[in-house]
């Protein structure tokens, strides 16, 4: 029995992962330039969570490695390679871990808030706050420099969290898909592609 739908699903998953990987990397790179200025990175005045590279290493490199192998497994004309499908499960698990890392780093960055200049001193004013600064817009004005850094960090960290969630879902679906292909997938009969 050859389950062509498994291969098509794998191709669909990998095709969906690629733009998410690119957006994740871009979001993490942008976080290095709060206030759209290079000087803060040069001076080391960026949020610690940005330096953890969640969007670049986790949601980027690890998910990319996973996506490439998932695509390779999906490009088989038939899911006759039970071993390939099993290995795609392992690679999807690597992607799941990477996406989880990206999500957790972004959540931590969102919880701790940005590094900014408050009364002439660089600090993270919202790190130990009892109330959530996310809904207290008036408190955002405490951060004098970089300009609009609170909005900037919130937008990019929320984007990274959303991307991490989508990547985790897609990798989890591929784990199930790969297991189905591994268990039900082989007879060695080639899939007949639709001529259209």
Note whether 181 and 82 are within 8 A (CB): yes
Tell me whether residue 120 is in a domain. Answer: no
Tell me whether residue 131 is in a domain. Answer: no
pTM recorded for the entire structure: 0.86
Tell me whether residue 17 is in a domain. Answer: yes
pLDDT tens track for 123-156: 999 988 766 788 888 888 889 999 999 999 999 9
Low-confidence stretches of the chain (pLDDT < 70) are 1-4, 76-81, 130-131, 185-196
pLDDT tens track for 42-52: 999 999 999 99
Cβ atoms within 10 Å of 125's Cβ, excluding its own: 20
Segments forming the whole domain that contains residue 95 = 4-30+55-108+154-184
Tell me whether residue 98 is in a domain. Answer: yes
What total number of domains does the chain contain? Answer: 1
What does the alpha-carbon distance between residue 169 and residue 174 come to, in Å, rounded to a whole number?
9
Tell me whether residue 160 is in a domain. Answer: yes
Which residue do the tokens 């996973």 mark?
A: 66
What does the alpha-carbon distance between residue 66 and residue 38 come to, in Å, rounded to a whole number?
32
Tell me whether residue 60 is in a domain. Answer: yes
Dmax of the chain from CA atoms? 71
What does the alpha-carbon distance between residue 18 and residue 21 come to, in Å, rounded to a whole number?
5
141 secondary structure, DSSP code: G
């Amino acid at each position: 029995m050859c389950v062509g739908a498994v291969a098509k699903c794998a191709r669909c998953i990998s095709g969906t992962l690629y733009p998410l990987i690119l957006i994740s990397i871009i979001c993490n790179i942008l976080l290095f330039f709060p206030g759209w200025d290079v000087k803060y990175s040069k001076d080391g005045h960026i949020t610690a969570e940005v330096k953890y590279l969640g969007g670049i290493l986790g949601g980027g490199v690890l998910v990319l490695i996973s996506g490439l192998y998932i695509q390779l497994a999906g490009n088989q004309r038939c899911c006759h390679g039970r071993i390939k499908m099993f290995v795609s499960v392992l690679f999807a698990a690597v992607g799941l871990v990477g996406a989880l890392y990206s999500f957790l780093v972004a959540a931590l960055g969102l919880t701790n808030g940005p590094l900014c200049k408050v009364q002439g001193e660089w600090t993270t004013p919202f790190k130990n706050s009892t109330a959530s600064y996310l809904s207290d817009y008036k408190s955002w004005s405490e951060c004098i420099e970089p300009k609009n850094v609170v909005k900037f960090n919130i937008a990019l960290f929320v984007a990274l969290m959303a991307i991490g969630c989508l990547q985790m879902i897609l990798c989890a679906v591929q784990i199930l898909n790969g297991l189905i292909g591994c268990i039900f997938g082989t007879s060695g009969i080639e899939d007949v592609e639709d001529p259209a």
